[in-house]
Structure 1
């Protein structure tokens, strides 16, 4: 008995096409590139021509090198090749999956598929993930191949066909997405890297360097310090004399300040402090200098904020001197603004020991302050004895008429 075939069990081709589910979406474009005067490009290794085309909502730069040399394996001859370079050139950071299929064609093959082209036809394919500004090279065929198989047109031109396919984002079925059950993933625990590094600093396990600070030894780990501080990197792994030392003396720094600096380097946090405002303020000043000394930028910003928050009549001049020495321009501007808040503020700050220190140690910051005072108050509170560097001050306000 002959088996019975149900005609309805196999959909018609049209029905199958309509029933297909698009799992991916792609955009495709075929672009012809013509090199006129092809024979004249034979000895021009550095010659490059280019064009930009849009496919799938992205801009693609296509560069053609008519006489590039291949430096790869010996399976290719050493003669010049026709090379193409593809670069994603759209604005903004993005990555795109795309395929470039390229071949040489003549006027009779333009509308043929690769399968129907002559047996001498060669097609080269590049499929890759493209990121902005990162080119992909394709060596199409050698120049000798193009001439041998007569792809050079009678008018001395060469035709290259590029078929570009760009994978687009997968279509989303809103109804199916709404009906799908929520994911059952378990949230990952918070990172405890800082905790473990802090414990390593406290336990001293694996420590391979000792610092002597104000007579007190402080153990640490070279790799951690170098990873967090460019200054430690230069000292411990560069050409400086400290590279081979097992013990390094740190001068002009309190031991507690250095320990706090290391705590921040290991944990990216500051240790909790007592509610002693004076002690916290002193630590902020010391840490700001230490952070600047070792290039720990984030700690510098944190300490500058703490110093600014604690600015008072008693500390403003000292904070200004510190900001000037350490190049903290924002803190310097805030100190000057505090001092200029009123004439009484300026008089009060000028009577402090910090102001005397500013006059002696930071003449440039003092001149900046006095110029600001003059411009705001027209010299009504500027005392002659404040101006130590008369010439510099006059240069800064050369358009003003001063009587000092």
Structure 2
């Protein structure tokens, strides 16, 4: 299996026998329908039904840069490096959700829980809510409330309250009240 993945990755990097183009926001990449269809039910559906992607032999992924797209394809082709994954995991999470790649979505979910800090906790909380990542949301809440980091990022938190979803705000205050109750 590893040898086969390496062969497909080599075909991708050298554009050997590609049969469809992915148009990212700032460039294009030739890929193989069969590989995309094998990994994603969404891609499979695009190629199985009479959709514009099948007819035009092109997929528009305008919400992804060419760099993010290339790394996403490296994942699909089984040739992703750990540093590449860590750098692009938020883009991967969006793509995993959009193209129904549950294994990638779970890998992103697990990874995003590993390095929560004061610089990213509010963004991660918003991401967790958007993509229904319950474990990440719980970790962010615990970090903010139980570890008292909400006081360390007072200004950022105040700004966050201005644009955050009401449901998240309600959950944060519920968590704060539960923590106070424990004192």
Report the TM-score when normalising by structure 2: 0.87
* Counterpart contact for 1:339–1:346, Cα < 8 Å: yes
* Counterpart contact for 1:224–1:266, Cα < 8 Å: yes
The answer to whether the aligner puts 1:242 opposite 2:53 as a matched pair is yes
The answer to whether the aligner puts 1:217 opposite 2:31 as a matched pair is no
What do you get for the CA RMSD once the two structures are aligned? 2.3
The answer to whether the aligner puts 1:352 opposite 2:148 as a matched pair is no
Q: Cα distance, 1:191 vs. partner?
A: 4.3
Q: Cα distance, 1:362 vs. partner?
A: 2.5
Q: Distance in 1 between matches of 2:119 and 2:21?
A: 37
Question: Where does the alignment leave 5 or more consecutive residues of structure 2 unmatched?
Answer: none
Q: Cα distance, 1:196 vs. partner?
A: 0.9
Task: Find the partner of 2:170 among 327, 348, 367.
Answer: 367
Quote the residue 1:319 is aligned against.
124
Task: Find the partner of 2:133 among 328, 337, 358.
Answer: 328
Quote the residue 1:263 is aligned against.
74
Distance 1:246 1:191, change over 3 A: closer
Distance 1:235 1:304, change over 3 A: same
* Counterpart contact for 1:212–1:247, Cα < 8 Å: yes
Q: Cα distance, 1:248 vs. partner?
A: 2.5
* Counterpart contact for 2:146–2:179, Cα < 8 Å: no
Q: Distance in 2 between matches of 1:315 and 1:242?
A: 36
Q: Cα distance, 1:288 vs. partner?
A: 1.5
- SS of equivalent residue, structure 1 residue 218: strand
- SS of equivalent residue, structure 1 residue 286: helix
Q: Distance in 1 between matches of 2:165 and 2:66?
A: 26
Q: Which protein is richer in helix relative to its size? A: 2
Distance 1:281 1:270, change over 3 A: closer
Q: Cα distance, 1:216 vs. partner?
A: 0.6
**Runs of 4+ that moved beyond 6 A:** none
Instruction: Choose 1 or 2 for highest CA Rg.
Output: 1
Question: Where does the alignment leave 5 or more consecutive residues of structure 1 unmatched?
Answer: 1-189, 275-279, 381-404
Q: Cα distance, 1:235 vs. partner?
A: 2.0
| Number of aligned residue pairs | 182
Task: Find the partner of 2:180 among 372, 377, 386.
Answer: 377
Query: CA offsets, 1:144-165, max 9 Å, x none?
Result: xxxxxxxxxxxxxxxxxxxxxx
- SS of equivalent residue, structure 1 residue 340: helix
Distance 1:192 1:241, change over 3 A: same
* Counterpart contact for 2:26–2:65, Cα < 8 Å: no
